A and B are shown apart, each in its own frame.
Chain A
Amino acid sequence: MSRAKRHLQSALLVLVAVAVAAIAPACPEGNEDDDEITDYGTPPGTPLRRLGPAEWNNTVRDLFPVETLSRYDFPAEFAIEGFENNADFQASSALLVEAFREASVAVTEQALPQWIPQCKGNPDGTCARTFLLEFLPRAFRRPVSEEELSVYVDFWNSEEQQTYFMAAYHLTVQAVLQSPEFLFRLEFGTERGESGDRVRLTQYEIATRLSYFIWASMPDDALFADAEAGRLDDPDVLADHARRLLADDRARDALADFHRQWLELDDVLRIEVDGNFTPHWQRNIRFPMREAPLRWVEWLIFDGPGTLEALLTEDSAFVHRDTAGLYDVPAPNDEFERMTTPDRAGILMDPAFLAINSHPINPSPVLRGRFISERVLCNIIDPPPAGLTIFPPRAEDFAGQTTNRERYERSTDSPDCDGCHIPLHGLGFPLEGFDMLGALRSDDQGLPIDETGEITNGDVAGPITDRMELVRTLASSDQVRRCYAKQWFRYGWGRLDRYADNAIIDEVDGPFAQAGGDIQELLVAFVRTEAFRTRVVSGGE
Chain B
Amino acid sequence: MSRFKNMSAASRRQFLAATGLGAGSLFLPSVGGREARADGGDAPLRLVVWYSLHGCVYDQWRMRPGNRPDNEDWEVDLGGLSRNEFSTSLEPLYDVRDQLMILDGLSLIGPRVDIDYDGHPLGQIHSLTGAPVLPIAGFVAGATQPSVDQIIAAEVSRDDRFRSLEWSPGNDPGTASPIWSMGTDRLPIETDPNVAFDRLFPGSDPNQGQDAAAVWERQSSVLDLVASRYDALAPNLSGEDRRKLELHRDLVRDVERRLGSLRDLSCDVPSAPDGQWYDQSWEEAYDDKYQAYIGLVAAALSCDLTRVISLQMTDLANERFGAPPGDVHLDFAHLIHEDQASHDYMTEYVRVHAEQFRDLVALLDSVPEGDGTMLDNTVVVWCSEIGDGAHRFSPWPVVMAGGRCAGFNPGRYIHYGGRIPGVDGEFGGGAVDGESHNKLLVSLAQAFGVQRDSIGLSEARLGGTTYSLSGPLDFLTS
- The distance from the CB of B194 to the nearest CB of chain A, in whole angstroms, is 11
Chain A, 17-36, CB within 8 A of any chain B CB? 18-19, 26
Q: A74: CB under 8 A from chain B? A: yes
Interface pick from B245-253, B287-295, B350-358, B465-473: B245-253
0/1 interface trace, chain A 481-497, chain B, CB 8 Å (1 if under): 00000000000000000
Report the Cα distance A269→B162, complex, angstroms. 32
Q: B25: CB under 8 A from chain A? A: no
Check if B187 sits within 8 Å of A98, measured CB to CB: no
Chain B, 260-300, CB within 8 A of any chain A CB? 281-283
Q: Find chain B residues with CB under 8 A from A75 CB.
A: 173-174, 188-190
Chain B, 108-133, CB within 8 A of any chain A CB? 116-122
Q: Find chain A residues with CB under 8 A from B174 CB.
A: 75-79
Q: B85: CB under 8 A from chain A? A: no
Check if B325 sits within 8 Å of A174, measured CB to CB: no
Q: Find chain A residues with CB under 8 A from B428 CB.
A: 18, 387-389
- The distance from the CB of A308 to the nearest CB of chain B, in whole angstroms, is 26
Q: Find chain B residues with CB under 8 A from A78 CB.
A: 174, 186, 188
Q: Find chain A residues with CB under 8 A from B176 CB.
A: 2, 4-5
Chain B, 188-207, CB within 8 A of any chain A CB? 188-190, 198-199
Residue of B225, B247, B282, B391 touching A270 (CB-CB under 8 A): B282
Question: A9-B118, A174-B222, A180-B248 known; A359 and B3 CB under 8 Å?
Answer: no
**For B175, B208, B328, which residue has the most chain A Cβ atoms within 10 angstroms?**
B175
Specify the chain B residue showing the minimal Cβ separation from A101. B255
0/1 interface trace, chain A 146-159, chain B, CB 8 Å (1 if under): 00000100010001
Residue of A4, A18, A74, A188 touching B315 (CB-CB under 8 A): A4
Q: Find chain A residues with CB under 8 A from B189 CB.
A: 75
Residues of A within 8 A of B (CB-CB), count:
93
Q: Find chain A residues with CB under 8 A from B6 CB.
A: 70
Interface pick from A87-95, A121-129, A192-200, A515-523: A87-95
Q: Find chain B residues with CB under 8 A from A107 CB.
A: 4
- The distance from the CB of A364 to the nearest CB of chain B, in whole angstroms, is 9
Residue of A47, A98, A184 touching B255 (CB-CB under 8 A): A98
Q: Find chain A residues with CB under 8 A from B462 CB.
A: none
Report the Cα distance A79→B175, complex, angstroms. 8
Check if B337 sits within 8 Å of A389, measured CB to CB: yes
- The distance from the CB of A277 to the nearest CB of chain B, in whole angstroms, is 9
Check if B181 sits within 8 Å of A5, measured CB to CB: no
Question: A8-B120, A94-B163, A181-B229 known; A47 and B240 CB under 8 Å?
Answer: yes
Interface pick from B40-48, B95-103, B230-238: B230-238
Chain B, 38-97, CB within 8 A of any chain A CB? none
Check if B187 sits within 8 Å of A391, measured CB to CB: no
Q: B335: CB under 8 A from chain A? A: yes
Check if A70 sits within 8 Å of B4, measured CB to CB: yes
Residue of B187, B229, B244, B327 touching A48 (CB-CB under 8 A): B244
Check if A274 sits within 8 Å of B325, measured CB to CB: yes
Q: B254: CB under 8 A from chain A? A: yes
Q: B326: CB under 8 A from chain A? A: yes
Report the Cα distance A268→B118, complex, angstroms. 23
Check if B334 sits within 8 Å of A389, measured CB to CB: yes
Question: A4-B329, A386-B116 known; A74 and B427 CB under 8 Å?
Answer: no
Check if B326 sits within 8 Å of A360, measured CB to CB: yes
Check if A109 sits within 8 Å of B329, measured CB to CB: no
**For A2, A91, A102, which residue has the most chain B Cβ atoms within 10 angstroms?**
A91
Specify the chain B residue showing the minimal Cβ separation from A75. B188
0/1 interface trace, chain B 1-13, chain A, CB 8 Å (1 if under): 0111111000000
Check if B230 sits within 8 Å of A180, measured CB to CB: yes
0/1 interface trace, chain A 93-106, chain B, CB 8 Å (1 if under): 11111110111011
Check if A360 sits within 8 Å of B331, measured CB to CB: yes
Q: B156: CB under 8 A from chain A? A: no
Q: A349: CB under 8 A from chain B? A: no
0/1 interface trace, chain B 314-345, chain A, CB 8 Å (1 if under): 11011000001111111100110110000000
Check if B218 sits within 8 Å of A163, measured CB to CB: yes
Specify the chain B residue showing the minimal Cβ separation from A16. B338
Report the Cα distance A102→B226, complex, angstroms. 14
Report the Cα distance A272→B226, complex, angstroms. 45
Interface pick from A164-172, A218-226, A295-303, A407-415: A164-172
Q: A472: CB under 8 A from chain B? A: no
Q: Find chain A residues with CB under 8 A from B331 CB.
A: 359-360, 391-392
Q: Find chain A residues with CB under 8 A from B317 CB.
A: 272
Q: Find chain B residues with CB under 8 A from A45 CB.
A: 239
Q: Find chain A residues with CB under 8 A from B237 CB.
A: 48
Number of A-B contacts (CB under 8 A): 242
- The distance from the CB of B429 to the nearest CB of chain A, in whole angstroms, is 9
Check if B175 sits within 8 Å of A2, measured CB to CB: yes
Report the Cα distance A384→B252, complex, angstroms. 43
**For B176, B183, B252, which residue has the most chain A Cβ atoms within 10 angstroms?**
B252
- The distance from the CB of B232 to the nearest CB of chain A, in whole angstroms, is 8
Interface pick from B16-24, B209-217, B370-378, B435-443: B209-217
Report the Cα distance A95→B427, complex, angstroms. 36
Check if A387 sits within 8 Å of B215, measured CB to CB: no
Check if A164 sits within 8 Å of B325, measured CB to CB: no
Q: A540: CB under 8 A from chain B? A: no
Report the Cα distance A150→B138, complex, angstroms. 50
Q: Find chain A residues with CB under 8 A from B365 CB.
A: none
Q: B159: CB under 8 A from chain A? A: no
Question: A48-B244, A175-B222, A272-B318 known; A391 and B325 CB under 8 Å?
Answer: no
Residue of B218, B252, B328, B335 touching A178 (CB-CB under 8 A): B252
Check if A391 sits within 8 Å of B330, measured CB to CB: yes
Question: A75-B190, A94-B251, A101-B223 known; A274 and B138 CB under 8 Å?
Answer: no
Q: A1: CB under 8 A from chain B? A: yes
Check if B251 sits within 8 Å of A97, measured CB to CB: yes
Specify the chain A residue showing the minimal Cβ separation from B2. A106
Q: B219: CB under 8 A from chain A? A: yes
- The distance from the CB of A540 to the nearest CB of chain B, in whole angstroms, is 14
Check if B225 sits within 8 Å of A13, measured CB to CB: no
Check if A103 sits within 8 Å of B4, measured CB to CB: yes
Check if B254 sits within 8 Å of A171, measured CB to CB: no
- The distance from the CB of A506 to the nearest CB of chain B, in whole angstroms, is 21
Specify the chain A residue showing the minimal Cβ separation from B137. A496
Check if A110 sits within 8 Å of B4, measured CB to CB: yes
Check if A12 sits within 8 Å of B330, measured CB to CB: yes
Q: A118: CB under 8 A from chain B? A: no
Q: A50: CB under 8 A from chain B? A: yes
Q: Find chain A residues with CB under 8 A from B335 CB.
A: 389, 391
Q: Find chain A residues with CB under 8 A from B474 CB.
A: none
Report the Cα distance A166→B215, complex, angstroms. 9
**For A19, A76, A93, A112, which residue has the most chain B Cβ atoms within 10 angstroms?**
A93
Check if A180 sits within 8 Å of B229, measured CB to CB: yes
Check if B229 sits within 8 Å of A179, measured CB to CB: yes
Check if A7 sits within 8 Å of B327, measured CB to CB: yes
- The distance from the CB of B55 to the nearest CB of chain A, in whole angstroms, is 14
Q: Find chain B residues with CB under 8 A from A50 CB.
A: 244
Q: Find chain B residues with CB under 8 A from A162 CB.
A: 218
Check if A109 sits within 8 Å of B211, measured CB to CB: yes
Q: B155: CB under 8 A from chain A? A: no
- The distance from the CB of B405 to the nearest CB of chain A, in whole angstroms, is 27
Residue of A105, A184, A284 touching B215 (CB-CB under 8 A): A105
| Contacts A/B (CB < 8 Å), 7 sampled | A48-B245, A73-B5, A76-B174, A101-B219, A101-B223, A106-B4, A392-B331
Q: What residues make up the interface of A, taking CB atoms closer than 8 Å to B?
A: 1-2, 4-5, 7-9, 12-13, 16, 18-19, 26, 45, 47-48, 50, 70-79, 89-99, 101-103, 105-110, 112-113, 151, 155, 159, 162-164, 166-167, 170-171, 174-175, 178-181, 183-184, 186, 188, 269-270, 272-276, 283-284, 286, 359-361, 382-392
Known contacts A93-B185, A96-B188; 9 additional CB pairs below 8 A are: A4-B328, A9-B139, A73-B5, A76-B174, A97-B255, A108-B215, A109-B215, A386-B117, A391-B330
Top 10 A-B pairs, shortest CB-CB distance = A274-B325, A91-B185, A48-B241, A106-B4, A167-B214, A97-B251, A2-B175, A73-B3, A8-B120, A92-B248
